[in-house]
């Protein structure tokens, strides 16, 4: 990596040391902005005001290397592997009612929002009739539904 150089004069002695970053004047002379320089991963010292000719040359060399760099080769995507069918294991616990496609939708029950309806569908309930026939304890096993709200859902489903 090319590092910026700084000229220091202390007690009548001249010294060149490694700097913290390139100054704005050096960047302007090389035709770069602060953002471009930082994007390239080069250090910038916005407080330094001196301009060194060898720093400008270093920046121009870096720009030439970037311009002459070969284009990156894009990788061809690999074909997706086909998923092997897996047999679902039966869940332990009480049997859930089988989903039905008929009847009043779950979303029409008071107190059932989109997430609750989704969870009820996953548990096997597909209509308000299924909820009306359900057991309070079975509904309370579903994530996000307490016994109290399960009893309210059943009452609201019976009212439809």
Element (H, E) at 92: none
The confidence score (pLDDT) of residue 24 equals 93
pTM confidence score = 0.41
Considering only CA atoms, give the Rg of the chain: 35
Write down the domain spans for the chain.
5-68, 106-158
Q: What is the pLDDT of residues 42-97, one digit of tens each?
A: 899 989 888 999 899 988 988 888 888 777 767 777 776 666 666 665 555 555 55
Helices (H), the chain: 24-30, 34-39, 53-68, 114-123, 128-133, 136-140, 147-158
Q: What is the pLDDT of residues 130-151, one digit of tens each?
A: 888 888 888 888 888 888 988 9
Question: CA 143, 147, 124: angle at the middle one, nearest 5?
Answer: 50
Tell me the two tokens of residue 109.
Answer: 């029950």
Residue 9 has pLDDT above 90, yes or no: no
Residue 20: is it exposed, middle or buried by C-beta count within 10 angstroms (0-12/13-18/19+)? middle
Residue 57: is it exposed, middle or buried by C-beta count within 10 angstroms (0-12/13-18/19+)? middle
Query: CB of 103 within 8 A of CB of 130?
Result: yes
Residues, the chain:
160
Tell me the two tokens of residue 3.
Answer: 């590092």
Please, which pLDDT band fits residue 99 given cuts at 50, 70 and 90?
A: very low
Query: CB of 97 within 8 A of CB of 133?
Result: yes
Q: What is the pLDDT of residues 112-135, one digit of tens each?
A: 888 888 888 888 888 888 888 888
Superfamily per CATH, domain 106-158 = 5' to 3' exonuclease, C-terminal subdomain (1.10.150.20)
The confidence score (pLDDT) of residue 25 equals 93
């Amino acid at each position: 990596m090319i590092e910026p150089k700084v000229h220091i004069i202390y007690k009548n002695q001249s010294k060149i040391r490694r700097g913290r970053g390139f100054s704005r004047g050096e960047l302007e002379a090389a035709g770069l902005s602060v953002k471009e320089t930082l994007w390239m991963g080069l250090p910038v010292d916005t407080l330094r005001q001196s301009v060194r000719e060898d720093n400008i040359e270093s920046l121009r060399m870096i720009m030439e290397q970037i311009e002459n760099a070969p284009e990156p080769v894009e990788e061809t995507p690999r074909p997706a592997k086909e998923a092997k069918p897996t047999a679902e294991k039966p869940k332990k616990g009480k049997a859930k009612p089988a989903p039905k496609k008929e009847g009043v939708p779950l979303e029409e029950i008071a107190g059932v929002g989109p997430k609750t309806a989704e969870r009820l569908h996953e548990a096997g309930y597909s209509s308000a009739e299924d909820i009306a026939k359900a057991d309070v304890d079975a509904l309370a096993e579903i994530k996000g539904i307490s016994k109290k709200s399960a009893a309210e859902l059943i009452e609201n489903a019976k009212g439809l």
